[in-house]
């Protein structure tokens, strides 16, 4: 029996219907399971065979658990006896952790004839992004006849990668795509960063996803009692 979902239609013309944002709302459990029989799996993963649905529900409830439909398209549907509330909690915790550790991508754009002051300003911004745990996508755009001298652009991007080596490392070599050269930088662990163009953010570890690994790195070090913060190059 296929899983059925409430129809998106049926409302009054022009009326707004709120979407159900609960990803677990569509999972049928206990008395919401309407098929006469189900194939049951125990909390330990053991096959209990095909049982009357009401009997399977009673078996779950007697143990303080839920009967949850895990394969609605099977014949008969497959259900597992589990603690549904705990399952939802664990899944939400995984999702929350994934969101908190996901880094954002910031873009820095260069030109082939960029002035020194502008170049250093862009690298300072790139260092700030990396210092906050963000990945940085550097892009150099060729204009007009500059495409005849792509070596200038590649040299500039390679220079930028070297200048930012104290804060991040490239995921791959700079690559020409159309009229643009791209290269992506991933931030180094906090305790390995050495900014060259900006003052480090002392509070970055509180919101930096990559900082979770840094305390371990420090504990596994030579045993020195703390290290001095890196001094920006003049």
Residue 70 domain-assigned (yes or no): yes
Residue 29 is classified by DSSP as B
- Contacting residues for 191 by C-beta, under 8 A, at least 6 apart: 214, 217, 218, 227
> pLDDT class for 89, splitting at 50, 70, 90?
confident
pLDDT for residue 21: 61
Residues 136 and 200 in one domain: yes
CATH number of the domain residue 120 falls in = 3.30.110.10
Q: What is the pLDDT of residues 12-31, one digit of tens each?
A: 555 445 555 667 888 999 99
* Structure token pair of residue 167: 């804060």
Helix (H, G, I), strand (E, B) or coil at 174: coil
Distance CA 194, CA 17 (A): 52
Answer whether residue 95 shows pLDDT above 80: no
What pTM value is reported for the model? 0.47
CA angle 186, 115, 163 (to 5 degrees): 30
- One domain for residues 89 and 122: no
pLDDT in tens, 105-147: 899 999 999 999 999 999 999 999 999 989 999 999 999 999 9
Mean pLDDT of 217-228: 43
Q: Is the same domain home to 107 and 203? A: yes
In a domain, 21, yes or no: no
Cis peptide before 76 (omega within 30 of 0): yes
Residue 168 Cα to chain centre, angstroms: 19
User: For residue 25, what pLDDT is reported?
Assistant: 83
Please tell me the predicted confidence (pLDDT) of residue 10: 47
CB-based contact 30:63 (threshold 8 Å): no
- Quick one: 208 and 109 in the same domain? yes
Query: Would 17 be classed as within a structural domain?
Result: no
Name the residue with higher pLDDT: 81 or 211.
81
For residue 54, the domain's CATH number is: 3.10.20.80
Q: Are residues 54 and 84 in the same domain?
A: yes
Q: 77, 97, 117: which is the final residue of a domain?
A: 97
- From 48, 68, 97, give the residue that closes a domain: 97
In a domain, 18, yes or no: no
Q: How many domains does the chain have?
A: 2
180 and 88 share one domain: no
Find the domain containing 191 and state its range: 103-219
Specify if 113 maps to a domain.
yes
Q: Is 3 left (phi over 0), alpha (psi -120 to 50) or beta?
A: beta
Q: Which of 44, 78, 97 is the last residue of a domain?
A: 97
């Amino acid at each position: 029996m296929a899983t059925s979902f409430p129809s998106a239609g049926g409302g009054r013309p022009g009326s707004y219907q709120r979407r159900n944002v609960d990803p677990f709302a569509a999972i049928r459990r206990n008395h919401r399971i309407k098929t006469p029989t189900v194939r049951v799996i125990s909390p330990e993963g053991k096959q209990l065979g095909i049982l009357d649905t009401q009997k399977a529900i009673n078996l779950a409830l007697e143990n303080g658990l839920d009967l949850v439909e895990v394969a609605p398209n099977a014949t008969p549907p497959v259900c597992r006896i589990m603690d549904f509330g705990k399952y939802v909690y664990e899944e939400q915790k995984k999702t929350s952790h994934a969101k908190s550790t996901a880094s954002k991508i910031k873009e820095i754009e260069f030109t082939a004839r960029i002035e020194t002051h502008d170049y250093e300003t862009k690298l300072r911004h790139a260092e700030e992004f990396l210092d906050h745990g963000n990945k940085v996508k550097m892009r150099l755009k060729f204009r007009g006849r500059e495409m005849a001298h792509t070596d200038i652009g590649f040299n500039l991007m390679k220079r930028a990668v070297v200048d930012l080596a104290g804060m991040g490392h490239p995921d791959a070599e700079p690559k020409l795509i159309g009229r643009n050269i791209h290269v992506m930088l991933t931030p180094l662990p906090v305790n390995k960063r050495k900014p060259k163009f900006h003052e480090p953010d002392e509070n970055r570890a509180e919101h930096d996803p990559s900082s979770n690994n840094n305390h371990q790195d420090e504990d596994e070090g030579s045993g020195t009692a703390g290290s001095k913060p890196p001094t920006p190059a003049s």
